Amino acid sequence: MARNKIALIGAGQIGGTLALLAGMKALGDIVLFDVAEGVPEGKALDLAELTPVEGFDAAYAGASSYDAIAGADVVIVTAGVARKPGMSRDDLLAINLKVMEQVGAGVRKYAPDAFVICITNPLDAMVWALQRSSGLPPEKVVGMAGVLDSARLRYFLAEEFGVSVEDVTAFVMGGHGDTMVPLVRYSTVGGIPVPDLIRMGWTSEERIAAIVQRTRDGGAEIVNLLKSGSAFYAPAASAIAMAESYLRDKKRVLPVAALLDGEYGLRDIYVGVPAVIGARGVERIVEVELDRSERAMFDRSVAAVEGLVEACLKIAPGLGK
């Protein structure tokens, strides 16, 4: 059976890590695409030289021309500018919107059957722009944010309780940004919801509130430490989990930015929701019940995403229907 083909648009910090993880997980052959001269070729060669040491067979190629992604099964997009200290995700909008239009045109022409995962920030607006400019079906174009945000929440909860990260599930909805909605009620340790653990005296409301805030600020915490660039290991691993669920038809239930079509009473907007990811892409969006305060947080988050999409439409009115 021929190996799958994975195209990585953007061969920067996340792109390089994606290429390493995709190879190590035997997901397929990998093409790194970037506009930075020599970078995709250099990273591809370095990674190819790692394969005999690690003992896996994957072809790595670097390219700066879109025909190299022809026939890709999965396209993961990190192209654009990363956040610098003091810069909000929203500041990135105008620059990265232009990049999404170029990437969308490349994907439309060379990889129209791919499952496309967008990571470029501001995430919920960029994935929307990518779907519009590529013209691919919405169930084949998703954004990665919730897997990362919930991984951060899982890690912090595991630390708080002194338990394995494997036994902690966590749930983050909404847009990727300061208004994300971490749902403590749907987060569990060994199946026990966090509010029950508070009642059992394992932790306090205040400590959980602090963990929720740290999750919301998770991206900025790393930006401030790194000084240049933003998180890349965990974002890459999160997108790889989504790609793997698609390629292997695992039907994992993952929080992803998906285009809503009536779910949660919303239409035509990308926002983070739990979804089943399988061979058909987004196979089902899970509509969980939100209580009044959760719904209010979700609505605030949706309003923030709507604001970003409006800003995109001002810059590129052609993306509107």
Enumerate binding residues for ligand A3D (CB under 6 A): 9-15, 34-36, 39, 78-80, 82-83, 96, 99, 102, 119-121, 123, 144-145, 148, 176, 229-232, 235
Nearer to ligand A3D, 14 or 285 (CB): 14
Nearer to ligand A3D, 65 or 293 (CB): 65
User: Least distance from C-beta 307 to ligand A3D, angstroms?
Assistant: 17
User: Least distance from C-beta 195 to ligand A3D, angstroms?
Assistant: 27
The response to whether 277 counts as a known ligand-binding position is: no
User: Least distance from C-beta 186 to ligand A3D, angstroms?
Assistant: 20
Choose the catalytic residue: 43, 154, 176, 216: 176
The response to whether 89 counts as a known ligand-binding position is: yes
Q: What is the C-alpha separation between 37 and 126, in angstroms, rounded?
A: 24
Which run of H or E residues covers position 282? strand 281-285
- Find all residues with CB under 8 Å of 90, minimum gap 6, and list them: 122, 177, 308, 311
Helix residue ranges per DSSP H, 92-145: 93-110, 123-134
The response to whether 199 counts as a known ligand-binding position is: no
Q: With beta carbons less than 8 A apart as the criterion, state whether 181 and 293 touch.
A: no
Nearer to ligand A3D, 126 or 197 (CB): 126
> How many C-beta atoms lie closer than 10 Å to residue 53's C-beta?
7
The response to whether 15 counts as a known ligand-binding position is: yes
47 is known as an active-site residue: no
Q: With beta carbons less than 8 A apart as the criterion, state whether 256 and 242 touch.
A: yes
Summarize the chain as % helix, strand, coil (round to 5). Answer: 50, 20, 30
What is the residue type of 235? P
- Find all residues with CB under 8 Å of 299, minimum gap 6, and list them: none
User: Least distance from C-beta 154 to ligand A3D, angstroms?
Assistant: 15
User: Least distance from C-beta 285 to ligand A3D, angstroms?
Assistant: 19
Nearer to ligand A3D, 150 or 189 (CB): 150
Q: DSSP character for 263?
A: G
First to last CA, the chain: 40
The response to whether 10 counts as a known ligand-binding position is: yes
The response to whether 119 counts as a known ligand-binding position is: yes
Nearer to ligand A3D, 33 or 189 (CB): 33
Q: What is the C-alpha separation between 147 and 145, in angstroms, rounded?
A: 6
- Binding residue numbers: 10-15, 34, 83, 89, 96, 119-121, 152
Q: Residues with catalytic annotation?
A: 176
- Binding residue numbers for NAD(+): 10-15, 34, 96, 119-121
